């Protein structure tokens, strides 16, 4: 699929996954494989901002699993503390919940489960909030999972993308469940399939464990991959956020100098 590309740096978006008010990470979406990293999500969010984050990716794991806003206090505290935009997913399954989060000051809401269970509601929400809704596609072996990755559907990820092709979505987040939290590298093949099936910007998620993994994604920029969500690698200190941002910028700047392009 043809895409008009622009010269800009791929955005690195640090993640905070909330479970019971704590910053945690799951391994391959398994709620029985939880690692707790920080009991103060506000301080963690401020750390990412101080290290150069231009956006925060926030996930309410309790909400994703139960559909209930268990982490509202933490979400509101993080929103009030940060100066950068926040995108949030997890348990957003009604117009009322989306509006509540926008009223908090959240920039974008990520819809996943509801896109399978009630696509008409999602399209209604997109019409009401154009360019403020992100479609979250969590897939394993090409099929979409829902309810915090607990339920596996028979719907192909690429088909779900096409269902919303004409909608005014802000972006698509493509998460590969099999690699998420493993630090073993992204699923470039699956990501390319998603990116080449839409004209919307695509944000990669899952498997990032090293600077080399981040650099591997730059090969997909022309296909429309404009950002990458990084979680466990940052918490495990495989690299820091500022280092990652500089590493992504370096090859692009060198390439631009060779071509005589001014990165603005």
In contact, 218 and 204? CB cutoff 8 Å: no
In contact, 29 and 258? CB cutoff 8 Å: no
Distance CA 92, CA 81 (A): 22
User: In 151-165, which positions are buried (b, 16+ CB within 10 angstroms) versus exposed (e)?
Assistant: eebebebbebbeebe
Could you give the residue ranges of the DSSP H alpha helices within 16-94? 41-50, 61-66, 72-81
HEC string of 197-244?
Answer: CCCCCEEEECCCCCHHHHHHHHHHHHHCEEEEEECHHHHCCCCCHHHH
Residues belonging to the active site: 17, 138
Helix (H, G, I), strand (E, B) or coil at 103: helix
Look up residue 166 and give its two tokens.
């004409």
CA dihedral sign of residues 234, 237, 242, 244: negative
Name 62's Cβ contacts closer than 8 Å, sequence gap at least 6.
Answer: 18, 19, 20, 68, 70, 71, 90, 91
- Phi and psi at 19, nearest 5°, equal -140, 115
Q: In degrees, to the nearest 5, what angle opens at C-alpha 179 toward C-alphas 157 and 224? A: 50
């Amino acid at each position: 699929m043809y895409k008009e590309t622009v010269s800009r740096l791929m955005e690195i978006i640090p993640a905070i996954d909330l479970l019971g008010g704590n910053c945690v990470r799951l391994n391959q979406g398994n709620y029985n494989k939880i690692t707790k990293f920080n009991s103060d999500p506000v301080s963690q969010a401020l750390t990412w901002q101080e290290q150069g984050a231009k956006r925060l990716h926030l996930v309410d794991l309790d909400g994703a699993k139960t559909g209930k806003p268990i982490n509202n206090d933490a979400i509101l505290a993080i929103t009030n503390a940060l100066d950068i935009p926040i995108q949030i997913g997890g348990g957003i399954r009604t117009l009322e919940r989306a509006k509540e989060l926008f009223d908090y000051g959240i920039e974008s809401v990520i819809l996943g489960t509801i896109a399978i269970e009630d696509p008409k509601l999602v399209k209604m929400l997109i019409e009401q909030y154009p360019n403020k809704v992100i479609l979250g596609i969590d897939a394993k072996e090409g099929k979409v999972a829902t309810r915090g990755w607990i339920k596996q559907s028979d719907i192909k990820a690429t088909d779900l993308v096409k269902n919303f092709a004409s909608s005014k979505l802000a972006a698509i987040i493509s998460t590969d469940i099999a690699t998420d939290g493993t630090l073993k590298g992204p699923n470039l093949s699956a990501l390319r399939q998603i990116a080449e099936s839409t004209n919307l910007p695509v944000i990669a998620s899952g498997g990032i464990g090293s600077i080399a993994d981040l650099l591997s994604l730059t090969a997909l920029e022309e296909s429309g991959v404009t950002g990458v969500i990084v979680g466990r690698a940052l918490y495990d200190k495989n690299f820091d956020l500022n280092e990652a941002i500089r590493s992504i910028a370096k090859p692009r700047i060198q390439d631009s100098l060779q071509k005589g392009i001014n990165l603005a």
